[in-house]
Chain A
Amino acid sequence: MDQVFEGTPTAEIQLDGHRVTRGHVSNDWGSKLQWVVRRDGKDVATVPARMEATFEHDDKTAGKYEIVLQHFKYVNYRKDAKGDYTESRFIDISNVVSYTI
């Protein structure tokens, strides 16, 4: 019996200055939860989000920053030759917040 995951996880995140706070994750699958920080459209950081509901990215490099909450979506354990998942992946589960430095 493979694990079955119920529902689709969602959460709302809010920005206060450069500090982002997440609300409750509904339909939480229990897999890895992470913040993803993008600067000018490119991923620049991933940070575990399970333990802390708030997060502030400390990089002050100029650019447009976007932050979103992601959850690992397990589809199956298939991986390519490099060991990367071919179907399972992280998915965005929140709104995106942004600020500019």
Chain B
Amino acid sequence: MLHLGDENVSLCSGIRRRSFLQAGAAGMAGLTLPNLLQLETRGAVDQSKAKIRNCITIFLVGSPGHLDTWDMKPEAPEDIRGGFKPVNTNVPGIDICEHFPQMAKMMDKVALIRSLHHKTGASHENGQRWMMSGHDFTQDSMQPYMGSVVSRVFGPKSNLPSAVILPDKIGNTGTATPHGQEAAYLGSGHQPFFLGGDPSRADFKVANLQPPDGQTEFRINARRNILKELDTLQRRAETNTTIQRDTAYSRAFNLLTSPETKMAFDLTDEPDKLRDRYGRSTFGQSCLMARRIIERGSRFVTVNHFDTVFNIACWDMHADGGGLNNTHKDYEYLLCPQFDQAFTALVEDLEQRGLLEETVIAVLSEFGRTPKLNPRGGRDHYPSAWTNFLCGANIKGGQAIGSTDRIGAAPHDRPILPPQIVASIYHAMGIDLETTMMPGPGGRPIRLIEAEPIMELF
């Protein structure tokens, strides 16, 4: 549920601004169009050239083992290579796991980055912060999520929020530290919209688009008029902050009441065969919804494959016999096929609609997994080496950038750090990292990211 700051203003009608905003997705709004115009004036964003302004990130919460997926080592000893076999792809010289057969047929579109690593700890949250923001930080020094930055740079292009996270925010993955999916100092106007529901459920409704109990559309419109009157009074003491709030309120009303918005989040008018193609699972239908809302005007969508790593089948393959009991079986029967189905459906679908060339797809995770199998046959956290990948837009597919050593323990050549991935995504979206600044803490202008893009990608 989104909140816009801590406003808690009672109105004579009894509704509070805060409760209204809890019902709507107000937080994603803001004074973004004027910001965009300012940026254009400075030459940072050239709308005529920046064709690519969409991005879908798929975040594989828990993190796949690189040796079991996209950086296999068939020549390594058995307790390192594991039980899966590599298969050829449609790019000579690039093999991937046998359990991604559909992806193997479109490797010419994908750029693997096989030398990712970081050095700041092996918790899930470390990796989430790195890969979602390009920074590591604490609760006291929060850094913005990529989608919030993109929202700040480009502004909205429809009633839909610029940045959306599906199906829900990351929850408990071990420690009570940030996950990197917040707007931070960019403010509530650029907070991502969390869907807060499961699109694979037959009774699915977007939690943040439902009015509070007892509030009909008519009553919401009546309250909008009351707010308008109140705001007229407030304008006498108008500041930039109140202008931002007004815009946020206005967009929240639009989001709550616009049929166009509700339609964007409604999968029931997609053909059954297409829904089947994505896979009738939470993840598959979230990927389909990502395409749908990008098509209707959102700019940056993240699909979290999971929101936790505990007591569910997910990528966090410790095989511990308890609450983290994922094994190769979960990979083979469920996780790899589910990813293979949804990811390839998304690429195909975007391509058929002419959207792939203007949409970057980035498949990201927190870290790799230990090269040596643990005594239970699982693999544990390993931030010293892993593989993520990009495709779509202007990304040059059919290549593997960087490599690891013979057992996948460390980058062998072209070591790459998470901020370079984030810089590459911004660059792919047409943002000039040299000239584009954003207001940092205290309003001080700062660069979006202190890293250079990986130029081999383009």
Contact = CB atoms under 8 A, between A and B. Distances in A.
B278 A30 contact: yes
Given A30-B281, A31-B333, A32-B337, A77 B326 contact: yes
Contact of B281 (A5, A51, A88): A5
Q: How large is the interface on B (under 10, 10 to 19, 20 to 34, 35 or more residues)?
A: 35 or more
Contacts of B284: 30
B288 to A, nearest CB: 11
A28 to B, nearest CB: 4
A94 to B, nearest CB: 15
A29 interface: yes
Interface in A1-42: 1-7, 9, 24-33
A74 B280 CA distance: 12
Given A28-B341, A77-B313, A4 B198 contact: yes
Contact of B279 (A28, A48, A88): A28
A93 to B, nearest CB: 12
A65 B285 CA distance: 37
B327 A83 contact: yes
B352 to A, nearest CB: 18
A99 interface: no
Nearest to A72: B333
Contacts of A64: none
Contact of B334 (A9, A24, A74): A74
B276 A25 contact: yes
B49 interface: no
A50 B340 CA distance: 10
Nearest to B280: A6
B200 A77 contact: no
A31 B330 CA distance: 10
User: Which interface residue of A7, A28, A85 has the most chain B CB atoms within 10 A?
Assistant: A28
A3 B341 CA distance: 15
Contacts of B334: 3, 31-32, 72, 74, 88
B327 A2 contact: no
Contact of B308 (A1, A30, A79): A1
Contact of A30 (B167, B198, B307, B341): B341
Contacts of B338: 3, 29-31
Interface of A: 1-7, 9, 24-33, 48, 50-51, 72, 74, 76-79, 83, 85, 88
